[in-house]
Amino acid sequence: MSRQNSRDTGPEIAVRRLLHSNGFRYRVHYPVPGAPRRKIDIAFVGPRIAIFLDGCFWHGCPQHATSPKANAEWWQNKLDRNMARDRETGELLEASGWTVLRFWEHEEPESVAQVIAHARQAAGSPVRDARN
């Protein structure tokens, strides 16, 4: 597990590039307020929007999650704890006034960036024109 990328994954980088090219500025791996050792993948701190790009295996995607056959009980407990931590983190952020958006790694980066852009604009924060 130590060799698994927990940050700067392919889907994260693809979405971040799209957001940045459209003039959005954000924080990467921003600490979750009140939860040590937990990070928000992409955070818009001003309007309080937290974006998580979850891996299908590690976070229990209903379409693509698999169960390892070796040491199955340990893995099931591990993956259940991951999903419980995801719910707890989302509830903690929402209680603090954050909007939480979660996406799966298999979702198209263009559609993910589009949903994020709509949420950002709905929060009342205009996009800064990158050309100026």
CATH tag for 10-122 (out of 3.40.960.10, 1.10.3720.10, 2.10.60.10, 3.40.50.720): 3.40.960.10
Mean pLDDT, all residues of the chain? 88
Reported residue count of the chain is 132
Confidence of residue 132 (pLDDT cuts 50, 70, 90): very low
How much is the pTM? 0.86
Please check the confidence at residue 86 and state whether its pLDDT lies above 80: yes
Question: Is the predicted pLDDT of residue 32 greater than 90, yes or no?
Answer: yes
Mean pLDDT in residue range 119-129: 68
Kindly report the backbone phi and psi dihedral angles of residue 95, in degrees, each rounded to the nearest multiple of 5, phi listed first: -65, -25
How confident is residue 129, by pLDDT bands cut at 50, 70 and 90?
Answer: very low
